[in-house]
Amino acid sequence: MMTVLIILMAIAVIDLIGSFIYFRTGFGKRIYHDFMGWHQPKDKVWFDGCSFHSKCKYCGKDIMQDSQGNWF
């Protein structure tokens, strides 16, 4: 039981480190963007009075930022 917990914690730490690397460098795009659907805005971000909008720098899709700061 303890081994399973250690393995799950190791996976969580590896995923956390990988997500930081993805946001800083774009490395891991196949996992985080293509599989998990995490978008990153291009340099141009505009505000419509309610939400921030941009285009994804990888797929070009129109994206919007939610109240927690996540792009969808």
pLDDT, position 32: 93
Residues 2 and 32 in one domain: yes
Enter the pTM of the model.
Answer: 0.77
Task: Give the mean pLDDT per block of 10 residues along the chain (72 residues).
Answer: 94 95 92 93 90 94 90 89
pLDDT, position 53: 96
pLDDT, position 27: 93
Residues 34 and 2 in one domain: yes
Q: Count how many domains the chain has.
A: 2
Q: How far apart are CA 22 and CA 30, in angstroms?
A: 10
Residues 52 and 26 in one domain: no
State which residues form the domain around 58.
Answer: 39-72
> Under 8 Å CB-to-CB from 62, ≥6 apart: which residues?
53, 54, 55
Residues 27 and 10 in one domain: yes
Q: How far apart are CA 21 and CA 15, in angstroms?
A: 10
Residue 55 β-bridge partners? 62
Residues 32 and 51 in one domain: no
Residues 45 and 58 in one domain: yes
Q: How far apart are CA 43 and CA 33, in angstroms?
A: 17
